[in-house]
Amino acid sequence: MEFKDYYKIMGVERSATQDDIKRAYRQLARKYHPDVSKEADAEERFKELGEAYEALKDPEKRAAYDRLGANWKGGQEFRPPPDWNEGFEFSGGGFTGGGRGGDGADYSEFFEQLFGRAAQSRGASHGQFRGGAGHAHGTDRHAKVLIDLEDAYHGATRMIVLHVPEADAQGHVALREQKLNVTIPRGVRAGQNIRLSGQGTPGIGQGKAGDLYLEIEFRPHPHYRVDQRDVMLDLPLAPWEAALGANVTVPTPNGSVELKIPAGSVSGAKLRLKGRGIPAASTSGVAGDFYAILQIALPPANDEAARAVYSDMAKQFPGFNPRAKLGVSS
């Protein structure tokens, strides 16, 4: 996927005001509109311009885009970092869903990766609505937050920092930092939302404030992987433990347990510890499972004695062919 330099496409500096961006769009839209332009690539340029304007005209999208940094160049191979939008707060209707704009225009994969997912999951359900003459309910806000997997096992109270995009009087977009103490409930899983009542945009008149929805994601863990409520661990075994069987100590997010390894185990085999995944969120729910995925680890052959052991092993198993199932003889 190629990085899109929206500021370069619009012909403005990164410090441009919202009014500067609007004026640049109107000027370039007249120049490249397919109905009037004689440029050979007018249609493509007009489409690219529309996408850039969609990203930069909205303070929330622009602030999110700016968080990627100024070192990226247009056309450069790009993948968004997994936590690029952590703590970034935005309104429910602020992002365009499905990679298509309100005018039905198709947007690039780059735009979709940055903005499409947010809209699909939070869409139009939390917009502002009227509550009577002169009154309006505040807009709901959304942010993704990263927590430790262990917090889902035990519950926790964490200080989180949100970044709220705002445009100043001159039209420059900046991020305001907001700190909140949040209770992480036991049994929460990735993708779930924690609702903070009244923490969204203030209402107008006597309208109530909107709510803040925190979408939970787990920080990458050095040992564990998560699928819904199931937790997986690659468990290294010595060759003799796999061949002869053994009792080994296995770490889990809820403490270590003893696990019996059957004799003749092979790499890739899964051993399930029922109910030791992410706990159920309620008494009527079902906890996930913990899976130890066996991986046979070979001792290093880094000295003469170790190499002699491997040489003796080869002599002990002269007919062993690990590639026999591939249809090759050696």
Categorize the per-residue pLDDT at 302 as very low, low, confident or very high, splitting at 50, 70 and 90: very high
Please report whether residue 104 resides in a domain: no
Give a yes or no: residue 63 inside a domain: no
In a domain, 173, yes or no: no
Average pLDDT, integer, range 56-69: 81
Residue 63 has pLDDT above 70, yes or no: yes
Tokens of 51: 């996408």
Q: Which of 20-24, 109-113, 177-181, 250-254 has the lowest mean pLDDT?
A: 109-113
- Note the residue count of the chain: 330
> What's the confidence (pLDDT) of residue 235?
97
Tokens 């008494």 locate to 283
pLDDT tens column, 180-229: 899 999 999 999 999 999 888 788 877 888 898 998 999 999 999 999 99
Say whether pLDDT at 61 is over 90. no
Q: According to the model, what pLDDT value does residue 116 have?
A: 65
**Of the candidate ranges 228-232, 264-268, 283-287, the one whose mean pLDDT is the lowest:** 283-287
Higher pLDDT residue, 294 or 109? 294
Residue 180 near residue 197 (C-beta atoms within 8 A): no
Question: pLDDT band at 105, cuts 50/70/90?
Answer: low
Number of folded domains that form the chain: 1
Strands (E), 220-284: 224-227, 230-237, 246-250, 257-261, 270-273
Q: What percent of the chain has pLDDT over 70?
A: 85
Q: Is residue 14 part of a domain?
A: no
Does residue 24 register a pLDDT over 90?
yes
Lowest mean pLDDT of 108-112, 255-259, 319-323, name the range: 108-112
Q: Is the pLDDT of residue 65 over 50?
A: yes
pLDDT tens-digit readout, 66-77: 877 667 777 778
Range of the domain at 315: 224-326
Mean pLDDT of the chain: 84
**Residue 36 confidence (pLDDT):** 85
The tokens describing 22, both together, are 């609007």
- State the pLDDT at residue 85: 64
DSSP run (H or E) holding 154: helix 149-154
**Domain assignment of residue 121, yes or no:** no
Residue 121 has pLDDT above 50, yes or no: no
Distance CA 244, CA 80 (A): 46
Coil/strand/helix, residue 31: helix
Q: Would 309 be classed as within a structural domain?
A: yes
Q: What is the mean pLDDT of residues 174-178?
A: 79
pLDDT band at 82 (very low <50, low <70, confident <90, very high): low
Q: Distance between CA 184 and CA 288 in Å, rounded? A: 18
**Straight-line distance from the first to the last Cα atom of the chain, in angstroms, rounded to the nearest whole number:** 41
The mean pLDDT of 26-36, rounded to a whole number, is: 89
Give me the pLDDT at residue 83, please. 63
Token pair listed for 61: 């999208």
CATH number of the domain within which 261 lies? 2.60.260.20
Range among 157-166, 252-261, 282-291 rated most confident:
252-261
Within a domain: 280: yes
